[in-house]
Structure 1
């Protein structure tokens, strides 16, 4: 069970990661629209975006209380 401080820390971290995820989304969109697309950089940004998505999902799952069956 998480205490209030741990829960707030998780929420804060999720917000930070979500912001970075949105920023990467904008950067990827801009890079794709660029006439000289750097495919390696684009791949790296997309990979980082997926890592962030996984991290966010993992943190959100930690916020769900364990239920005793």
Structure 2
């Protein structure tokens, strides 16, 4: 199953669990990127790929958070 599948088909409980998993993956990527840059051992292509993956996760996290947050009519 793909992470970008239709969020409306998933329960809020499933979305909350997935949200935590994606947030952890995002943090792990952030740490990996920082370690590679700090040590100077990562080539630019690898770092760019990791950053792109991190952005993709951020988009997924945002979509899940939007789905879980009820619309407030002001």
Report if TM-score (shorter chain) is over 0.5. Answer: yes
Counterparts in 2 of 1:64 and 1:38: CA distance versus 1, 3 Å:
same
What corresponds to 2:3 in structure 1? none
The structure 1 segments of at least 4 consecutive aligned residues displaced by more than 4 Å after TM superposition are none
Q: Which residue of 56, 59, 73 corresponds with 1:54? A: 59
Count of paired positions:
66
- Deviation of residue 33 (structure 1)? 1.1
More helix by share: 1
Who wins on radius of gyration, i.e. which is larger? 1
- Note the residue ranges of structure 2 that are not aligned, 5 or more in a row: 1-7
- Note the residue ranges of structure 1 that are not aligned, 5 or more in a row: none
TM-score, normalised on structure 1?
A: 0.82
- Deviation of residue 45 (structure 1)? 0.3
